[in-house]
Amino acid sequence: MELTERFLKYVSFPTMSDEQSETCPSSAKQLELAKVLKAELDALGLETVLDEYGYVYGFLKANTEKITQRVGFIAHMDTSDACSDTNIRPKTIKYGGGDIVLREGEKGGKGAGEAIVMKLSDYPYLADYEGKHLIVSDGTTLLGADDKAGVAEIITALEELIRSGRKHGKISVCFTPDEEIGRGADHFDVKAFGADYAYTVDGGKLGEVEYENFNAASAKIVVRGISIHPGSAKNKMVNAAAIACELQSLLPKRQVPEKTEGYQGFFHLTGISGETENAELSYIIRDHDRAKFEEKKKLMKELVRKLNRKYGKGTLTLVLKDSYYNMKEVLADNMFVVEKALQAMRDCGVEPVCVPIRGGTDGARISFMGLPCPNLCTGGENFHSRFEFACVEDMKTCVKVIKNLMIAKD
């Protein structure tokens, strides 16, 4: 199956994960794609397993007697809940520059819709893709390139490698559920995977190699207030919603996602709800620097203590939970894995660039589980957005890079 055909097939499956679910996978619809992927790996001759948690493992036997380390490749099946994953309508265009009309405006009639346009002024890096073919959605849903581009590239690389007859050592692949809700490595079986090192194929622009990511934590704060008629509220009412707003106001104003870049960390308020009696705030806390990360968590605890002293013990409760850590701590002693990726790109005519991930991947947690696992690009951009796109030519180059890493070197 050709790469773009395979990719378009995968994005037709709705696979959004569900953070509120306590099951694994968190949504049953991920299993539908998992079954398809297992069948494709079976057809290629791999030994496969679809386990009870929805993880798809595939193992390709070596066709050389040369002793080589076993390399692994990992991508995730689920999509973000930031945009709808239902009725995705992808289309492939040859980009000639300027704005891209994802959906034409509808004229007149009940339910008529406005045009949806990806503007060059909003995304100036579109200019880098002029003359190339882009796969986009119709602007009402995400595309699903994160990370179905990675899944399609891994399987296409396997297919091409097997067809070529090139010598290779043992290769392991795994397609995981629930990466987008931070649980993609919860049930990943490092021992069964059996690789000596691996790569997540879950990055963006062609050429990017990532071996640094945020240290990450989540914070949930519940505020308990006391409601009473506002006419007789003096010295009696405790307004939980107002306290929630006060807490938010005490955090550093410039340490937020919309005002940071590169290695700069942040507090991100992901949700707030409340009334006089009860309020709730949800945050994610991020920083590449472990010491600064710990300082941010300490500040959150101090602010909760401060407000409890002001409004009464137990008014605010904080649940603070670490999510993952910067994989650079592990990869600093295993830089050969990164060097292999950089050389594989150069061999394919791509000038690599190492960039810090302003987020995380399954590879971050897997690296701390004992399997060094940096991240490779997939040729897509604008992930978690209605303006997500994948570049066909760059995806094909990513397949070449993956295949290069699979081939046994002389």
Instruction: Please state, for a pLDDT cut of 90, what percent of the chain lies above it.
Output: 93
Beginning with the edge strand found earlier in the chain, give each strand of the sheet holding 380-381 in spatial order.
Answer: 91-94, 133-136, 389-391, 380-381
| Packing angle, helices 335-347 and 392-406, rounded to 10 | 120
Measured between alpha carbons, how far is residue 328 from residues 83, 355, 378 in Å?
31, 12, 21
Per-residue pLDDT, averaged over 132-159, amounts to 97
Ramachandran region of residue 262, left (φ > 0), alpha (ψ -120 to 50) or beta? left
Per-residue pLDDT, averaged over 293-307, amounts to 98
Q: Which of 303, 324, 345 is the endpoint of a domain?
A: 324
Supply φ then ψ for residue 248, to 5 degrees.
-60, -40
Does residue 285 have a pLDDT over 60?
Answer: yes
The pLDDT of residue 112:
52
Q: Give the model confidence (pLDDT) of 97-125 as tens digits.
A: 999 999 988 765 554 578 999 999 999 99
Mean pLDDT for the chain? 95
Active site residue 246: no
Q: How far apart are CA 26 and CA 31, in angstroms?
A: 10
CA 38 to centroid of chain Cα atoms: 22
b/e sequence 71-107, b meaning 16+ C-beta within 10 Å: bbbbbbbbbbbebebeebebeeeebeeeebebbeeee
Per-residue pLDDT, averaged over 391-401, amounts to 98
The pLDDT of residue 107:
65
289: exposed, middle or buried (Cβ count in 10 Å: 0-12, 13-18, 19+): middle
User: Do residue 228 and residue 314 come from a single domain?
Assistant: yes
User: Do residue 205 and residue 231 come from a single domain?
Assistant: no
The active-site residue out of 18, 40, 78, 210 is: 78
The pLDDT of residue 384:
94
Integer distance in angstroms from the first to the last C-alpha of the chain?
29
The pLDDT of residue 408:
83
Tally of domains in the chain: 2
Read off the amino acid at residue 92. T
Q: How far apart are CA 345 and CA 347, in angstroms?
A: 5
Per-residue pLDDT, averaged over 261-277, amounts to 96
Ramachandran region of residue 232, left (φ > 0), alpha (ψ -120 to 50) or beta? alpha
**DSSP 8-state code for residue 47:** E
Per-residue pLDDT, averaged over 30-46, amounts to 98
Q: Give the model confidence (pLDDT) of 49-93 as tens digits.
A: 999 999 999 999 999 988 889 999 999 999 999 999 999 999 999
Q: How far apart are CA 173 and CA 171, in angstroms?
A: 7
Q: Domain containing 222: what range? A: 215-324
Does residue 404 have a pLDDT over 60?
Answer: yes
Residue entry with tokens 């670490």: 322
User: Do residue 243 and residue 352 come from a single domain?
Assistant: no
User: Do residue 245 and residue 354 come from a single domain?
Assistant: no
Give residue 169's pLDDT band: very low, low, confident or very high (50, 70, 90). Answer: very high
Q: How far apart are CA 292 and CA 288, in angstroms?
A: 8
Does residue 409 have a pLDDT over 90?
Answer: no
| Packing angle, helices 392-406 and 145-164, rounded to 10 | 50
The active-site residue out of 18, 40, 153, 179 is: 179
Does residue 198 have a pLDDT over 90?
Answer: yes
| Of 377 and 361, the one with more pLDDT | 377
User: Do residue 108 and residue 251 come from a single domain?
Assistant: no
Assess contact for 399 and 157: CB atoms under 8 A. yes
User: Do residue 194 and residue 279 come from a single domain?
Assistant: no
Q: Please state the pTM of the whole predicted model.
A: 0.89
User: Do residue 108 and residue 172 come from a single domain?
Assistant: yes
Q: Which of 267, 301, 324 is the endpoint of a domain?
A: 324
User: Do residue 376 and residue 293 come from a single domain?
Assistant: no
Does residue 94 have a pLDDT over 90?
Answer: yes
User: Do residue 165 and residue 204 come from a single domain?
Assistant: yes
Does residue 239 have a pLDDT over 60?
Answer: yes
User: Do residue 59 and residue 97 come from a single domain?
Assistant: yes
The pLDDT of residue 105:
80
Q: Three-state DSSP class for 38?
A: helix
CA angle 123, 124, 126 (to 5 degrees): 80
User: Do residue 22 and residue 156 come from a single domain?
Assistant: yes
Instruction: Please state, for a pLDDT cut of 70, what percent of the chain lies above it.
Output: 98
User: Do residue 25 and residue 151 come from a single domain?
Assistant: yes
In CATH, what number is assigned to the domain containing residue 318? 3.30.70.360
CA nearest neighbour of 348 among 406, 298, 304, 389: 406
Active site residue 393: no
Q: Which of 324, 341, 358 is the endpoint of a domain?
A: 324
Q: How far apart are CA 271 and CA 375, in angstroms?
A: 29
In CATH, what number is assigned to the domain containing residue 161? 3.40.630.10
Least confident of 63-72, 95-104, 187-196, 336-345: 63-72
